[in-house]
Amino acid sequence: MTRIKAAVCTEFGQPLRIEELDLRAPLAGEIEVTLEAVAICHSDIHFAEGAWGGDVPAVYGHEAAGRISAIGPGVQGLIEGQRVVVTLIRACGTCPNCASGRPTICETPGTEMSPITRADGTSVVQAMNCGAFAERVVVDQSQVVPLPDDMPPEAVALMACGVITGVGAIVNAGRLRAGEDVVVIGAGGVGLNAIQGARIAGARRIVAVDMTEDKLETAKSFGATDGVLATGKAPWKDVYRILGRGADLVAVTVGAIPAYNDAPRFLGWGGRMVMIGMPHSGAMAEYEPVVLAYMAQGMVGSKMGDVVIRRDIPWLADLYRQGRLKLDELVSGRWSLDQINEAITDTRSGGAKRNVIIF
pLDDT digits (tens, 9 = 90+) for 203-251: 999 999 999 999 999 999 999 999 999 998 899 999 999 999 999 999 9
Q: Does CATH place domain 166-303 in 3.40.50.720?
A: yes
pLDDT category, 109, cuts 50, 70, 90? confident
Mean pLDDT (the chain) is 95
pLDDT category, 82, cuts 50, 70, 90? very high
User: Residue 346 CB: number of other CB atoms within 10 A?
Assistant: 17
Looking at residue 9, what DSSP letter applies? B
Q: Does CATH place domain 2-159+327-358 in 3.90.180.10?
A: yes
pLDDT category, 134, cuts 50, 70, 90? very high
By the 8 A CB rule, do 129 and 61 touch? no
pLDDT category, 159, cuts 50, 70, 90? very high
pLDDT category, 351, cuts 50, 70, 90? confident
In the prediction, which pLDDT does 247 show?
98
In the prediction, which pLDDT does 113 show?
85
In the prediction, which pLDDT does 143 show?
97
Scanning 186-298, the segments in alpha helix (DSSP H) are 189-201, 213-221, 235-243, 257-262, 289-294
Domain boundaries, the chain: 2-159+327-358, 166-303
- 79 burial (CB, 10 Å; 0-12 / 13-18 / 19+) is exposed
- The reported pTM is 0.93
By DSSP bridging, strand 136-140 and strand 30-40 are antiparallel
pLDDT at position 1 over 90: no
By the 8 A CB rule, do 337 and 357 touch? yes
Looking at residues 135-161, what average pLDDT do you find? 95
Cα-only R_g, the chain:
20
> Which residues, in sequence order, are CB contacts of 164 under 8 Å at separation 6+?
87, 304, 305, 307, 309, 312, 313, 316
> Which residues, in sequence order, are CB contacts of 308 under 8 Å at separation 6+?
101, 103
Cα 137 to Cα 21, 94, 122, 163: the distances in Å are 11, 25, 17, 21
Q: Which helix (H) or strand (E) holds 13?
A: none
Express each pLDDT in 278-291 by its tens digit.
Answer: 998 899 999 899 99
By DSSP bridging, strand 354-358 and strand 331-335 are parallel
DSSP 150-206: TS-HHHHHHTTTHHHHHHHIIIIIS-PPTT--EEEE--SHHHHHHHHHHHHHT-S-E
Cα 275 to Cα 166, 194, 236, 259: the distances in Å are 11, 12, 17, 10
